Amino acid sequence: MNMEANHTDEEMAKRVQRGDVEAFGCIVDRYEDKLLRYGRRFLSDSDDIADLVQDVFLKTYINIQNFNTELRFSPWIYRIAHNEFVNALKKKTKSPLSFFDVDVLFPHPAFEENYAEEIDRETLKNTFENFLNVLDPKYREPIILFYFEDMGYQEIADILHIPISTVGVRIARGKKILKKLYESFKIKN
């Protein structure tokens, strides 16, 4: 059994701070898929995302001495990723997101099976990608972190450097905007 599997992220970070390069490899193994998924939700070009995630790991390694191992590691590394992705987003003129399951955000009543059967699934996919694309990043990112990265409000607050109450407000407002966009789409179709 792999001994690193028994150590927390914070313990692994402490080992890296002491010069254990193999411990950093374990951190990369733990977070690479998560950060790639997070990046795909935020940006569209998979080549760019892989490069950005590598930049995240490079910055993590360079700055790990500044990490307080008494705190949780996950929000710290996601904050680094957040900064990289936001900077990349600013450089792009358009940033379509990959498709997600609409039932995650709008369960049952908003997306009844009979309606989903009436329209082409690909049209629905493209429509919701466009909905997220027009959503202001300040609403889009908390929604992505909450619904797709399964993070709690405190973790999101730590990553975005905003109060917990603001996280809740932004998620609620983002969902409200997405629902309005959906209702408008439903009326037109």
Higher pLDDT, 154 or 188: 154
pLDDT of residue 94: 43
Domain boundaries of the chain, sorted by first residue: 3-91, 102-188
Task: Give counts: helices (H), strands (E), the chain.
Answer: 10, 0
User: 3-91 with 102-188: one CATH topology?
Assistant: no
Tell me the per-residue pLDDT of 157-185, one tens digit each, with 9 for 90 and over. 999 999 999 999 999 998 888 888 878 77
CATH 3.40.50.720 assigned to 102-188: no
Residue entry with tokens 């908390």: 142
What backbone phi and psi angles, to 5 degrees, belong to 5?
-65, -25
Question: What topology is assigned to 3-91 in CATH?
Answer: Rna Polymerase Sigma Factor; Chain: A (1.10.1740)
CB-count burial class (<10 Å; 0-12, 13-18, 19+) for 107: exposed
pLDDT value of residue 20: 93
DSSP-derived letter for residue 111 is G
Number of C-beta neighbours around residue 151 at 10 A: 21
Query: E strands of 5-125, at which residues?
Result: none
